[in-house]
Structures are given as structure tokens and as C-alpha cells.
Amino acid sequence: MASRDLAQMRKDALDIFRAGVQAVEPEAAVKQYCRREGNRLLVHQKVYDLAEFERIYVIGAGKAGAPMARAVEETLGDRITEGLINVKYGHLARLSRVKVTEAGHPVPDEAGLEGARAILDLASRAEKQDMVLCLISGGGSALLPLPAEGLSLQDKQDTTKVLLACGATIHEINAVRKHISRVKGGDLARAAYPATLISLILSDVVGDDLDVIASGTTVPDSTSFQDCMNIFDKYGIREKVPETILDHIRKGIDGKVPETPKPADPVFTRTQSVIVGSNLACVVAAEKKARSVGYHTLVLSTMIEGETREVARVHAGIAKEILKSGHPLSPPACVLSGGETTVTITGQGLGGRNQEFVLAAAMGLSAVPAQAGLKGREGIVVLSAGTDGTDGPTDAAGAVADSRTIERAQALGLNPADFLFDNDAYHFFEKLGDLVKTGPTNTNVMDLRIMLICCAQQ
Amino acid sequence: MASRDLAQMRKDALDIFRAGVQAVEPEAAVKQYCRREGNRLLVHQKVYDLAEFERIYVIGAGKAGAPMARAVEETLGDRITEGLINVKYGHLARLSRVKVTEAGHPVPDEAGLEGARAILDLASRAEKQDMVLCLISGGGSALLPLPAEGLSLQDKQDTTKVLLACGATIHEINAVRKHISRVKGGDLARAAYPATLISLILSDVVGDDLDVIASGTTVPDSTSFQDCMNIFDKYGIREKVPETILDHIRKGIDGKVPETPKPADPVFTRTQSVIVGSNLACVVAAEKKARSVGYHTLVLSTMIEGETREVARVHAGIAKEILKSGHPLSPPACVLSGGETTVTITGQGLGGRNQEFVLAAAMGLSAVPAQAGLKGREGIVVLSAGTDGTDGPTDAAGAVADSRTIERAQALGLNPADFLFDNDAYHFFEKLGDLVKTGPTNTNVMDLRIMLICCAQQ
């Protein structure tokens, strides 16, 4: 099957995308890592004897909270004592024991704050012979907003804005966030202690850093109040940060407010954190599907970041090399990558990073010179889409293109460079009928990019 | 050897780089593809009976012309009737039969024009029972400047400037170049016809497109005079192009100036073009070396283009994934890539694309979060250098960094982001003693990037 037609390859790409998303569907993901066999609860590599636990509480926050809770309900049934989760407005599922609070995302609101307070109370009520299951997914940080005592939501938001504007890294922003919150940086784990705390996490961040996902609600924090002040000084933003926040940080430095729990804290002798779904799981499932339909496969990386159109050029360079020399693998080939790129918006158009990726990749492929031994230029398909079914402020998850896309566009009088320049990939692919629309998938592990490369049909 | 120390890995990276460059050293490259066995001359997959040829002429242009000619002299000795090549000032080698003209590069000059005229005359003198060996290498286009009749060098240069400024592609620029030159777009091949013409080519362009290398001096041209006018109109630059050039193009459209030879032209029944050295050959030789010292290897692509710092982030993402999940290959791993990236200069510093690549990659690697299961972050080395031994306007070929570089820099009070922002990678690596200096290598097949990834030392 060295050659297959473009229509078949496009169908393959969509099938591969769907297989990837299916593997990280929240219910399936939770059930894969959290299984019950009679009185034994198997969570990844650990076994819990349910007979030893008096009460089981379910808490959590995130956009995928409801279907995750549903999986837990189906697994533990009436063993669940009580449950309380915060989800984004409208992100519901049929639940019988776990109570859902709908709250604001990406901007936190009062509903989220009320819900977070109730969740913290529930965790605090758990005792040594209890189990707390904590369900974390994308959006968990904004959906669990609980400022430290004396601070307001507005103070927190203003501080985040100042940090974003000064160019602080995500790790620096998180260090501060953790020290002005009552649930982040391991504080929720401290509340649950000495109960057994199991966190089931659907990761939506590059690298699956537990410290970053939902600002490390249930894991140790290695940063300090002093670090926060150093960060303010490093960027010279002390006078821009709200005075209440500065006061709080100063109190922390003086030991008047407790530090976040550190890695050696006894709290973490009774915790387990399991990533039940991630970009890697999605990409690996997609790879399995690609192999099953006859492609040689290569998982490039799930930690791809950077300016979208430049990342696309690198991907195009890899596809061209596969056709030219069979490096890094020979056709029929499927190259997969994940992660989340960024788009520096300079235009007025409509699009998202996935659609822009596909447009820039298609342009990179069309620059294949005919004499370069690349007779197979017609044999490339590129698909990129958000696993949550959305891409930027559009109704599409992404787009699909092939090595004839640019010619087809030009025949319709469309200049691809104009659309790229205007960040208008949506209208480009809309006119070609090449948007990928899946509707909401209820999950989110960032993006999945698929390139299929086959030899030319003879 | 899952773990080896950073010092050893740095040494490995340099050895791998040297092995790559050695494989495309001009003399070695020519001799590999052009061997003599008695009266038989073996050129790639063809065999020529030297007894059938009366005269053998050697012509050519390019920075590596002299060592390439030396290899031909050593192969054919006194069978060479006469030879004439254009090289860049100072790019000489000891030659006994082939005459060298030193000329201007990258800006063509009168010396180059004189030399080109003599080369064209020599090719024209060749007859059916003669052989012409044409040696092409990087810089061949500027070093073989011969405007069509009635046009001046200045006219040509002005036209190129207008095309570059309007955003025309390299293929569009070349289409025009070929139609205002007496040697490009296959015209040199036409001059040599009906002699047998063998072109030995050291490629310095991404994709090794024969049509692009030295503006396709000895290969068919698929563009036309009408295409040139269409390009002027597409970008609305007709009034900016010198009137003499427009006149010439119009004459061509009217059939008053001959078209460049097309693929079906009988000229090309008597030509052979062989790429004796390329980025791919360099990368593959480097790969072989890496394998021999114990690394799993992956040739990512030799067709890597794009904004350097973004390309570096993608490379860093791949290295991090190798440590995290063993995709796309498991440590100890060597990932190789080639091609030529670009740098959009916004700062005032000193550097080159290779040094900037290494700086940006090191920064990308240092963003590895400790909790992401990446215990092996200390096990990464990145080297990028120009195969010609130069990188931008510096005396370095490139730089080398490892996963401790950013910490070392910070300990010295250097802020890597400042140096990147100022395009000042040279001074960053100079202070760390991490510049790679090789001196001129006499060859040029663009850049070689090497990433070595090993597990942490326990």
C-alpha cells in the first residue's frame, strides 16, 4: 500500500484523530486507571481495600469534571458518601451522588468561589479512615478560585494580569498563585490530610507537570513566599501588585501565614496522583490506529510549543524529507505530534492555532520543487485539531489539507498567503470545505497533529 | 551506556559534527562520485569510455570550485585539455591544469563577468567528441554573472532587489534570473551541446533542487519569458524593473530572443547531473558516526527552514519527549537535522543562526519542569554549526550547549533571554567558552544540528 488516494488518506486522518480523542474521553480515561474488583479498588499501580475506608468523598474541578465523576459513580456506586465538583457552565452529565456546581471559566466568578469553599470544607471533614477522590481536568485552576484569607478574587486576577504583562513564566505565575490561594500549591491535599487522597487528573498542559495542572492543588509545592517577592522584584512590578497581596506575601515571609506544603510534608505520604488522560495517551492511541491501517508511524513529540506557522514549516520539512529520502521513516508514513502552539495575531481574520497550522503546513508543502526528486508531492495529508473539538473562537476543531490544497485554492482565486497574513484560516478552509468539525468532545488534552505521507500514485 | 557524562557527550557531538563535514569535503565528495578505472570514467551510475573523447574541458563556478577541480585533476590528470573556473576571492587550491579566476561574492563583479565570458566561450568550443565537466558549488550563481546581450550587471542586480522587496518566491526570482542571463536556466548546457556535459554539484540549497542550485546553469528550465512578465504583473512591479530588462523580456515573448532550453530539448540527451555532496550526505555521515559511538539515531529532516528560535523550540520539544516517554526514540539518542533557518534580526547583538539556535534550544530545555518525570534533564547536549565553518558575521561556526548551560549562565549573571532578544548569542556563548570554532572548511552544505539525549546519571 505504498500509494493510496488522497480521499482515502483524508478519511484515514480523520479516523486517526477520532481514535486519539476516544482514548482520552473522560469516562473511558478514568475507568482505565481506576477499576473496582469487588472490595478492591485498583488505581494505576496501587490497590486499595475499600473495606478499610469508612467514607468516600468525591471532589474536584475542571471542564471534564462531570463525565469523570460519572465514571467514578459507575465504579464506586453507593460507596460514595458525598461528592462536590465545580464545572464550567453547561458542562454537565447525568450524576446521582456527586453534586455539581456550575461556575465561570476562564474568568472565575462567585459561583466558583462558593463551590470551592464547599469543596474545601468537604475535604477538611475527611478523616484518617476516609478516602477522598479528587478529579482534576482542564480549567481546574479558574474553576477552583479560593483566595487566601483577606484577599479578593479581584486582587488575584489583578495580580495575574500584572504577571502576564511583565513576561513572567508560567512557573513564576504559578508560584505566586499558589501563595495567594487556599486550595492551590498542595493546600487542598493538606485539607484532606490525614484522609487518603487519590487525584485522577486529565492533563491539559504541555509536559503533564502535576505542579502546573490546576496550579498543583494536590501536589507538593517547591516554591516559597520569598520566591514570590523575588519574582515581583525581578520584573520590577512591586508597585503594580495590589497592596493586599503584597501584605499577604510579607506575612508569609514572616511566618504569619503558613507556607504551602513542601515535598517532604507528611501530607504526601497519603496521596496518589495519577494522570488518567494526557496528550501523550491521545497521540499514542492515534499512533496505534495509524499502524492498524497500514502506516509506518512516528510520534514526534507531545511537547511541541512555539509560533504556529513556524512549527508548521518544520512539520512540512519533515514530510518533504520522508518523500525525498525516507528519513526519518519511509512512506506510507504517519507523523504525529501534540502539545499546544501559539499564534501571534497580527490580522483581523478568524481562525485558531490548528487551522493556522494546517494552512501554513499546506503552504510549506506546496513549496516543494518539482525537480527535487519529490515526485510524490500529491501524497501528503495534514490534519490538526483541538481534542476538545474547538479551535480558537470558531465552530471548527481544526482543518485538513493535502498537497493539492494550495492549487485548489488558487484555482478558486484565493491567495493562501493573504489568509495566513490576516490570521484568517477559518475562511480559507471554509471556502474549500476543509474545516474539521466534531462538536464538543467533553475532553481536552490540547491539540493533535497528523501528517500522512504516501508515495505518488503511479 | 544509558548514561554518559556531559563532557563526553559534548565531545561526541563535536566528533559527530566533524564526521558530517568530512563526508562533504569537496575533494572527497567529487572522488566518491567520479572515479577512474583505466580508460573508464565512472560517474555515479554511468560509465564513460575516455577513449571515445577527444578533449576534456573542466568548467564551473562556486566557492568550493578549487578543491573540486583538484579532485578532477587527480582523477583525469593529463586527459584534461583545458579548464577554467570562477571562485570566490581567496578560495584557492593547488591546481596544475585548471585555471582559476577569483571573483566577487555575494556581490558579482567585473572579474566574475570576465571569467564567466571565458567559461561560456570554452563550453561553446566543445564539440561532439568532447567532454565538459562542470563543477558547481555554493555561490555559483553570483560567481557566474553573465547578463544577456544588451543588459548590464547593474540591471540584473536592480531587478533582483525589486523582486526580493516585493516578496517574490525564490522560484519566481530564479525564473526571471534565468531569462536575463546568458548562462543560467540551462544556457550553459546549450553552449556545450553537442559535447557530453557532466555536472558535478555540491548542493547548498534546501531540497537540492537542481533548478535552484546556481540558478540551474546546466539543467532544463520549465519557465518562460511570459512567466517573467506575469511575475512582474502579479507583484505590480513593472514600473520598478529597469526598462532594459523589460525590453529584453518583451523581445523574448515576441520570439526575438531565444527561450531557455526546456526539458524535451535535445541538449539534455547529452547531459548528466550528479549531486556529489549535500546536506543529506552530511547528515547521514553524521548519523553513521553517532551510531558507531552508541546512540540510537533519528534523521529528522534536512529540509528544515523557518524562524530559528521557533525551530529550536520544536527541537527542544523533541528532546524533552525522548526523556519523558522514549518517543520518537529511546535514549541514548541522537537527533540530527539539516537545512538552513532564518533569523529575523531585531537586536543589536552579534550572532548567527546556529548560535541563536543553540541559545533558544538551551532555553527551551531549561523550561523542563522538574516534576514532569524528566529526571534526566542534565543529559542533553545541543550543537549547531555551519558546515562551512562560519555562522553569520562571526568567527565561530556555531555553538554547543547542554542542559546545565542556562544555570551556568545565570550563575555568571547572564540573562539568556536578554541575549536572545538582542540577537547576541555570540557574546553569550563566548562568555561561557561554548562557541564552536572550526575555521573555514572549504565546503558548504548549509547547517548541521545535533541533539544528544541521555538518561540522567544515577
Question: Could you tell me the pLDDT band of residue B170, with boundaries at 50, 70 and 90?
Answer: confident
3-state secondary structure of B198: strand
On whether residue B219 sits in a domain, the answer given is: yes
Does any CB of chain B come closer than 8 Å to the CB of residue A372? Answer: yes
Strands, sheet with A398-402, edge to edge from the N-terminal-most edge strand: A296-304, A333-339, A447-453, A380-386, A398-402, A435-436
Of the partner residues A305, A310, A313, the one whose CB lies closest to the CB of residue B317? A305
Instruction: Find the closest chain B residue to A364 by CA distance.
Output: B305
pTM check: above 0.80: yes
Looking at residue B2, what is its pLDDT?
Answer: 45
- pLDDT at position B457 over 70: no
Does any CB of chain A come closer than 8 Å to the CB of residue B368? Answer: yes
B207–A280: do the CB atoms touch at under 8 Å?
no
Looking at residue B374, what is its pLDDT?
Answer: 41
- pLDDT at position A289 over 80: yes
List pLDDT tens digits, range A18-74: 999 999 999 999 999 999 999 999 999 999 999 999 999 999 999 999 999 999 999
Looking at residue B333, what is its pLDDT?
Answer: 97
Whether residue A369 is preceded by a cis peptide bond, meaning omega within 30 degrees of 0, is: no
Looking at residue A374, what is its pLDDT?
Answer: 41
On whether residue A249 sits in a domain, the answer given is: no
Q: What is the C-alpha separation between B442 and B102, in angstroms, rounded?
A: 15
Residues in chain B: 458
Q: How near does any CA of chain B get to the CA of A42, in Å?
A: 22
One domain for residues A303 and A447: yes
Percent of chain B with pLDDT over 90: 85
One domain for residues B273 and B286: no
One domain for residues A387 and A429: yes
Looking at residue A456, what is its pLDDT?
Answer: 63
On whether residue A166 sits in a domain, the answer given is: no
Of the partner residues A219, A320, A369, the one whose CB lies closest to the CB of residue B171? A369
Q: What is the C-alpha separation between A415 and A411, in angstroms, rounded?
A: 9
On whether residue B173 sits in a domain, the answer given is: no
What cell does B456 get?
Answer: 540522567
Write the DSSP string, B284-348.
Answer: HHHHHHHHHTT-EEEEEEEEE-SBHHHHHHHHHHHHHHHHHH--SSPSSEEEEEEE--B----SS
- pLDDT at position B1 over 60: no
Region B152-163: mean pLDDT is: 92
Q: What is the C-alpha separation between A2 and A136, in angstroms, rounded?
A: 43
On whether residue B175 sits in a domain, the answer given is: no
Q: What is the C-alpha separation between B414 and A54, in angstroms, rounded?
A: 56
One domain for residues B219 and B207: yes
Looking at residue A371, what is its pLDDT?
Answer: 37
Non-local CB neighbours of A379 within 8 Å, separated by 6+ positions = A3, A6, A9, A323, A331, A403, A453, A454, A455, A456, A457
Question: Could you tell me the pLDDT band of residue A258, with boundaries at 50, 70 and 90?
Answer: very high
Sign of the C-alpha dihedral computed for residues B21, B26, B31 and B34 taken in this order? positive
Percent of chain B with pLDDT over 70: 96
B301–A328: do the CB atoms touch at under 8 Å?
yes
* ipTM computed for the complex: 0.89
Q: How near does any CA of chain A get to the CA of B78, in Å?
A: 35
Average pLDDT of the residues of chain B: 93
Question: Could you tell me the pLDDT band of residue B458, with boundaries at 50, 70 and 90?
Answer: very low
- pLDDT at position B382 over 90: yes
How many domains does chain B fold into?
A: 2
Partners of residue A212 in chain B, C-beta under 8 Å: 369
Instruction: Return the residue matching grid coordinates 543588459.
Output: B151
Residue B336 in contact with residue B283, Cβ under 8 Å?
Answer: yes
- pLDDT at position A138 over 60: yes
Residue B100 in contact with residue B23, Cβ under 8 Å?
Answer: no
| Main-chain phi, psi angles of B40, to 5 degrees | -100, 135
One domain for residues B217 and B321: no
Does any CB of chain A come closer than 8 Å to the CB of residue B321? Answer: yes
Non-local CB neighbours of A447 within 8 Å, separated by 6+ positions = A279, A338, A339, A340, A341, A353, A354, A357, A384, A385, A386, A387, A398
- pLDDT at position A269 over 50: yes
Three state DSSP letters for chain A: CCCCCHHHHHHHHHHHHHHHHHHCCHHHHHHHHEEEECCEEEECCEEEEHHHCCCEEEEEECCCHHHHHHHHHHHHHHHEEEEEEEEECCCCCCCCCEEEEEECCCCCCHHHHHHHHHHHHHHHHCCCCCEEEEEECCCCCCCCCCECCCCCHHHHHHHHHHHHHHCCCHHHHHHHHHHCECCCCCHHHHHHCCCEEEEEEECCCCCCCCCCHHHHCCCCCCCCHHHHHHHHHHCCCCCCCCHHHHHHHHHHHCCCCCCCCCCCCHHHHHEEEEEEECHHHHHHHHHHHHHHCCCEEEEEEEEECCEHHHHHHHHHHHHHHHHHHCCCCCCCEEEEEEECCECCCCCCCCCCHHHHHHHHHHHHHHCCCCCCCCHHHHHEEEEEEECCCCCCCCCCCEEEEECCHHHHHHHCCCCHHHHHHCCCHHHHHHHHCCEECCCCCCCCCCEEEEEEECCCCC
CB count in 10 Å sphere of residue B305: 21
B314–A328: do the CB atoms touch at under 8 Å?
no
Does any CB of chain A come closer than 8 Å to the CB of residue B235? Answer: no
CB count in 10 Å sphere of residue B82: 15
Q: What is the C-alpha separation between A58 and A69, in angstroms, rounded?
A: 8
List pLDDT tens digits, range B264-319: 999 999 999 999 999 999 999 999 999 999 999 999 999 999 999 999 999 999 99
On whether residue A329 sits in a domain, the answer given is: yes
Residues of the domain holding B40 = 25-146+181-223+260-277
CB count in 10 Å sphere of residue A194: 14
Half-sphere exposure of A179 (CA within 13 A, CB side): 31
Q: Which residue has the higher pLDDT, B1 or A202?
A: A202
Q: How near does any CA of chain A get to the CA of B264, in Å?
A: 14
List pLDDT tens digits, range A358-407: 999 999 987 654 433 444 445 899 999 999 999 999 999 999 999 889 98
What is the CATH number for B401?
Answer: 3.40.1480.10
Of the partner residues B169, B209, B367, the one whose CB lies closest to the CB of residue A372? B209
Q: What CA–CA distances, in Å, run from A414 to A388, A428, B105? A: 29, 8, 39
Instruction: Find the closest chain A residue to B234 by CA distance.
Output: A415
B314–A311: do the CB atoms touch at under 8 Å?
yes
β-bridge partners, A307: A342
β-bridge partners, A202: A277
What is the CATH number for B202?
Answer: 3.40.50.10180
CA angle B48, B51, B52 (to 5 degrees): 70
One domain for residues A284 and A215: no
Region A238-248: mean pLDDT is: 96
List pLDDT tens digits, range A412-428: 999 999 999 999 999 99
Non-local CB neighbours of A120 within 8 Å, separated by 6+ positions = A146, A182, A183, A188, A191
**Mutate which: B178, B206, B303, B334, vs A, most A CBs within 10 A:** B303
Q: Which residue has the higher pLDDT, A263 or B373?
A: A263
What cell does A419 get?
Answer: 489568509
Partners of residue B369 in chain A, C-beta under 8 Å: 171, 207, 209, 211-212
Q: What is the C-alpha separation between A298 and A414, in angstroms, rounded?
A: 33
Looking at residue B341, what is its pLDDT?
Answer: 94
Q: What is the C-alpha separation between A169 and A223, in angstroms, rounded?
A: 14
Pairing of strands B447-453, B333-339: antiparallel
One domain for residues A389 and A425: yes
The residue type at A96: S
Can you say whether residue A405 is alpha, beta or left, with left for phi > 0 and alpha for psi between -120 and 50 degrees? alpha
One domain for residues B213 and B307: no
List pLDDT tens digits, range B91-145: 999 999 999 999 999 889 999 999 999 999 999 999 999 999 999 999 898 899 9
Average pLDDT of the residues of chain A: 93
Residues in chain A: 458
Sign of the C-alpha dihedral computed for residues A388, A394, A396 and A400 taken in this order? negative
List pLDDT tens digits, range B57-92: 999 999 999 999 999 999 999 999 999 999 999 999
Question: Could you tell me the pLDDT band of residue A166, with boundaries at 50, 70 and 90?
Answer: confident
b/e burial code for range A401-433 (CB count within 10 A of at least 16 → b): bbbbbbebbeeeeeebeebbebbbbbbbbbebe
A303–B324: do the CB atoms touch at under 8 Å?
yes
The enclosing H or E element of B6 equals helix B6-23
β-bridge partners, B198: B133, B272
β-bridge partners, B34: B43
What cell does B283 get?
Answer: 547528515
One domain for residues B12 and B70: no
Q: What CA–CA distances, in Å, run from A64 to A95, A100, A188, A213, A419? A: 13, 12, 19, 13, 34
- pLDDT at position B369 over 90: no
E-strand stretches of B68-220: 82-88, 98-103, 131-136, 196-202
What are the residue ranges of helices labelled H in B152-242?
153-166, 170-179, 187-192, 225-234
CA torsion, ordered A153, A156, A161, A166, to nearest 10 deg: 170
Region A313-331: mean pLDDT is: 95
Question: Could you tell me the pLDDT band of residue A5, with boundaries at 50, 70 and 90?
Answer: confident
- pLDDT at position B447 over 50: yes
One domain for residues A198 and A319: no
Of the partner residues B211, B280, B314, the one whose CB lies closest to the CB of residue A314? B314
- pLDDT at position A164 over 90: no
Q: Which residue has the higher pLDDT, B206 or A279?
A: A279
Question: Could you tell me the pLDDT band of residue B215, with boundaries at 50, 70 and 90?
Answer: confident
Q: How near does any CA of chain A get to the CA of B170, in Å?
A: 10
User: How remote is the C-alpha of B56 from its chain's centroid?
Assistant: 28
Partners of residue A321 in chain B, C-beta under 8 Å: 299-303
Question: Could you tell me the pLDDT band of residue B375, with boundaries at 50, 70 and 90?
Answer: very low
Partners of residue A169 in chain B, C-beta under 8 Å: 367
- pLDDT at position B157 over 50: yes
Instruction: Return the residue matching grid coordinates 496518589.
Output: A272
DSSP B447: E
Q: What is the C-alpha separation between A405 and A415, in angstroms, rounded?
A: 11
Residue A139 in contact with residue A63, Cβ under 8 Å?
Answer: yes
Q: How near does any CA of chain B get to the CA of A26, in Å?
A: 21
On whether residue B233 sits in a domain, the answer given is: no
Q: What is the C-alpha separation between A344 and A423, in angstroms, rounded?
A: 9
B328–A299: do the CB atoms touch at under 8 Å?
yes
Write the DSSP string, B254-301.
Answer: TTSSPPPPPTT-GGGGGEEEEEEE-HHHHHHHHHHHHHHTT-EEEEEE
Does any CB of chain A come closer than 8 Å to the CB of residue B137? Answer: no
- Comparing A75-89, B18-32, B359-373, the range with the smallest average pLDDT is B359-373
On whether residue A351 sits in a domain, the answer given is: yes
User: How remote is the C-alpha of B244 from its chain's centroid?
Assistant: 32
One domain for residues B192 and B318: no
One domain for residues A273 and A301: no
B303–A317: do the CB atoms touch at under 8 Å?
yes
Question: Could you tell me the pLDDT band of residue A172, with boundaries at 50, 70 and 90?
Answer: confident
Q: Of A337, A340, A338, A362, give the one whose Cα is nearest residue A353.
A: A340
